[in-house]
Structure 1
Amino acid sequence: MTADIGDYAKSRYGTRSGYVCKSVKSLMGTSDQVPLVDEIPDKTPSDVSAQILSFMINSAKKRLFQNELSDVIITVPASFDSDQCQATLDAARKAGINVENMHDVLLYEPKAVIYNFMRMQECGEIPSDLLSLDTEKNVLVFDLGGGTLDVTIHRVGYTEKGILNIKDLAISRYTLLGGDNFDELLATDMLRRFEESNGVKVSIKRKEEVMCKLRKLAEKLKVDLSQAYDSARMSDIDLPEDYELEVVDIDLYDSYAYADTYTRSDVERIISPLMGYKYKLEDASKIQHMAEKDVNNIIYPVLDVLDKCGKDTKIDAVILNGGMTKFYLIPKRLKDFFGFEPLTTSDPDLSVARGAVYYHYCLHKYNVRKLEDPSSSEKTNVCTSALHPVIAFNTSTILNDTINLGLRGEYVSQLIPAGTELPYKSEEIRDKYKLDKATSSLGIEMFLGRGKTKNLPNRRIATRTVKFGRSYPADTPISFQIYINPLRMMTMEAWITGQPKTKKTMEMDISYENRHFAFLNVLTSK
Structure 2
Amino acid sequence: MDATPAPFETELPSRYVVGIDLGTTNSALCYVDTQEKNGPIRVLQVPQLVAPSQIEPRETLPSFHYQPPAGEIPAGGLKLPWDTAEPASCVGVMARDWGAQVSGRTISSAKSWLCHTGIDRTADVLPWHAAEDVEKLSPVAASSRYLAHLRAAWNARFKTEPLEQQDVVLTLPASFDEVARELTVQAAARAGLPRVVLIEEPQAAFYAWINKHAANWEERVTPGQKILVCDVGGGTTDFTLIRVRRGEGDRVQFHRVAVGDHLILGGDNFDLALAQHLEARFTKGGKLQPRQWDILLRLARQLKEEMLADPAPEQRSVSLPTTGSKLIGSSSSLTVTRDEVRQVLVEGFCPHVSLNDKPSARRSGFQEFGLPYANDAAITRYLAAFLTAHRNVALDDVNLPAGQDPARPDVLLFNGGAFLSKLLQQRVVDVVTSWFSTPEKPWQPTVLENDRLELAVARGAAYYGMVRRGQGVRIAASLARTYYIGFESEPPSAICLLPGNAEPGQEVVLDRPLELLVSEPVEFPLYVSSTRLADRPGEVFSVDREQMTPLPPIRTALKTRRRSERGMVSVKLHAMLTEIGTLELWCAEQRGERSWKLQFDVRSTTQTDLTAHQSAAEEEGFVDEQTWAACQQVLENVFGPGSTEKPDSLMKGLTTALEMDRADWPTSLLRRLWEALLALEAGRKKSAVHEARWLNLLGYALRPGYGLAVDDWRVAETWKTVQGKLAHAAASSRTESLILWRRIAGGFSAGQQRAIAEPLLALVRQLHKQSTAGGKQAAAFSVQDSIEVLRLLGSLELLPGTIKLELGTLLVDLLPKKKLEGIRPAMQWTLGRLGARQPMYGPLNTVVAADVAATWLHALLQIETPDAQTVFAVVQLARKTGDRYRDIPELIRDRVLAWLEQQNAAAHILELVRAGGQLDVEEQSRAFGESLPKGLRLGGA
Rounded Cα–Cα distance in structure 1 between residues aligned with 2:581 and 2:420: 32
Q: For residues 133-179 of structure 1, what are the alpha-carbon distances to aligned partners after superposition, in whole Å with 9 as ceiling and x for unaligned?
A: 45354211111111111211113467445877432111112321101
| Residue 118 (structure 1) aligned to one of 196, 210, 234 | 210
In structure 2, relative to structure 1, the CA distance for the partners of 1:510 and 1:275 (3 Å cut) is: farther
In structure 2, relative to structure 1, the CA distance for the partners of 1:309 and 1:493 (3 Å cut) is: farther
Identical-pair percentage:
20
The residue aligned with 1:27 is: 113
- Contact kept, 8 Å, 2:236 with 2:264, in 1: the verdict is yes
Q: TM-score, structure 1 length as denominator?
A: 0.73
In structure 2, relative to structure 1, the CA distance for the partners of 1:418 and 1:40 (3 Å cut) is: farther
Rounded Cα–Cα distance in structure 1 between residues aligned with 2:219 and 2:485: 37
SS in 2 for 1:251: coil
Letter in 1 for 2:349: L
In structure 2, relative to structure 1, the CA distance for the partners of 1:67 and 1:447 (3 Å cut) is: closer
The residue aligned with 1:393 is: 474
In structure 2, relative to structure 1, the CA distance for the partners of 1:159 and 1:454 (3 Å cut) is: closer
| Residue 184 (structure 1) aligned to one of 254, 257, 272 | 272
The residue aligned with 2:182 is: 86
- Contact kept, 8 Å, 1:133 with 1:157, in 2: the verdict is no
- Contact kept, 8 Å, 1:247 with 1:258, in 2: the verdict is yes
SS in 2 for 1:421: coil
- Contact kept, 8 Å, 2:280 with 2:287, in 1: the verdict is no
The residue aligned with 1:237 is: none
| Residue 410 (structure 2) aligned to one of 313, 316, 319 | 316
- Contact kept, 8 Å, 2:308 with 2:342, in 1: the verdict is no
Letter in 2 for 1:349: E
Shift of 1:317: 0.8
Q: Confirm whether residue 481 of structure 1 aligns to residue 561 of structure 2.
A: no
Letter in 2 for 1:105: V
**Equivalence map 1:274-423=2 (5 Å):** 274-275=349-350, 277-280=352-355, 291=361, 296-302=377-383, 303-304=385-386, 307-308=389-390, 310=392, 312=406, 314-339=408-433, 340-341=444-445, 342-360=447-465, 363=466, 381-383=468-470, 391-394=472-475, 396-403=477-484, 405=486, 408=489, 411-413=492-494, 415=496, 416-423=498-505
Q: TM-score, structure 2 length as denominator?
A: 0.43
| Residue 599 (structure 2) aligned to one of 507, 518, 521 | 507
The residue aligned with 2:551 is: 461
**Equivalence map 1:117-196=2 (5 Å):** 117-122=209-214, 128=216, 132-133=220-221, 135=223, 137-156=225-244, 159-160=247-248, 165-196=253-284
Shift of 1:298: 1.3
SS in 1 for 2:284: helix
In structure 2, relative to structure 1, the CA distance for the partners of 1:59 and 1:491 (3 Å cut) is: closer
Letter in 2 for 1:185: A
Rounded Cα–Cα distance in structure 1 between residues aligned with 2:245 and 2:135: 49
Shift of 1:266: 6.0
Rounded Cα–Cα distance in structure 2 between residues aligned with 1:504 and 1:65: 45
In structure 2, relative to structure 1, the CA distance for the partners of 1:112 and 1:414 (3 Å cut) is: same
Shift of 1:109: 1.8
In structure 2, relative to structure 1, the CA distance for the partners of 1:498 and 1:486 (3 Å cut) is: same
**Equivalence map 1:44-55=2 (5 Å):** 44-55=138-149
The residue aligned with 2:94 is: 8
In structure 2, relative to structure 1, the CA distance for the partners of 1:39 and 1:477 (3 Å cut) is: same
In structure 2, relative to structure 1, the CA distance for the partners of 1:194 and 1:113 (3 Å cut) is: same
Shift of 1:201: 5.6
Rounded Cα–Cα distance in structure 1 between residues aligned with 2:295 and 2:520: 61
| Residue 446 (structure 1) aligned to one of 510, 526, 533 | 526
Rounded Cα–Cα distance in structure 2 between residues aligned with 1:8 and 1:291: 39
- Contact kept, 8 Å, 1:404 with 1:414, in 2: the verdict is yes
Please give the root-mean-square deviation of Cα atoms over the aligned residues, in Å: 4.2
Letter in 2 for 1:57: R
Rounded Cα–Cα distance in structure 2 between residues aligned with 1:404 and 1:276: 39
Rounded Cα–Cα distance in structure 2 between residues aligned with 1:173 and 1:94: 28
SS in 2 for 1:422: coil
Rounded Cα–Cα distance in structure 2 between residues aligned with 1:254 and 1:500: 78
Relative contact order: is structure 1 or structure 2 higher (C-alpha 8 Å, sep ≥ 6)? 1
Letter in 2 for 1:11: D
Shift of 1:78: 2.0
| Residue 335 (structure 2) aligned to one of 248, 260, 265 | 260
Rounded Cα–Cα distance in structure 2 between residues aligned with 1:329 and 1:457: 34
Q: Confirm whether residue 109 of structure 1 aligns to residue 205 of structure 2.
A: no
Rounded Cα–Cα distance in structure 2 between residues aligned with 1:292 and 1:434: 42
Q: For residues 269-307 of structure 1, what are the alpha-carbon distances to aligned partners after superposition, in whole Å with 9 as ceiling and x for unaligned?
A: 566443353341x56xx89xx847665531354332552
The residue aligned with 1:56 is: 150
In structure 2, relative to structure 1, the CA distance for the partners of 1:86 and 1:51 (3 Å cut) is: same
| Residue 317 (structure 2) aligned to one of 229, 235, 247 | 247
SS in 1 for 2:550: strand
In structure 2, relative to structure 1, the CA distance for the partners of 1:413 and 1:295 (3 Å cut) is: farther
Shift of 1:264: 1.5
In structure 2, relative to structure 1, the CA distance for the partners of 1:515 and 1:244 (3 Å cut) is: farther
The residue aligned with 1:223 is: 305
The residue aligned with 2:875 is: none
Letter in 2 for 1:49: S
Shift of 1:406: 5.9
Rounded Cα–Cα distance in structure 1 between residues aligned with 2:475 and 2:554: 34
In structure 2, relative to structure 1, the CA distance for the partners of 1:423 and 1:179 (3 Å cut) is: same
Q: For residues 113-134 of structure 1, what are the alpha-carbon distances to aligned partners after superposition, in whole Å with 9 as ceiling and x for unaligned?
A: 11221222236xxxx5796145
In structure 2, relative to structure 1, the CA distance for the partners of 1:11 and 1:422 (3 Å cut) is: same
Point out the structure with the larger helix share: 2
More off after superposition, 45-54 vs 171-180:
45-54
- Contact kept, 8 Å, 1:430 with 1:479, in 2: the verdict is yes
Give the total of aligned pairs.
461
More off after superposition, 144-153 vs 257-266:
257-266
Shift of 1:477: 8.1
The residue aligned with 2:172 is: 76
Letter in 2 for 1:405: G
Shift of 1:4: 0.8
- Contact kept, 8 Å, 1:81 with 1:511, in 2: the verdict is no
Rounded Cα–Cα distance in structure 2 between residues aligned with 1:139 and 1:106: 22
- Contact kept, 8 Å, 1:162 with 1:391, in 2: the verdict is no
- Contact kept, 8 Å, 1:443 with 1:465, in 2: the verdict is yes
Structure 2 alignment gaps of length 5 or more? 1-86, 116-120, 326-330, 364-374, 394-405, 434-443, 533-541, 559-564, 606-610, 623-941
Larger radius of gyration: 2
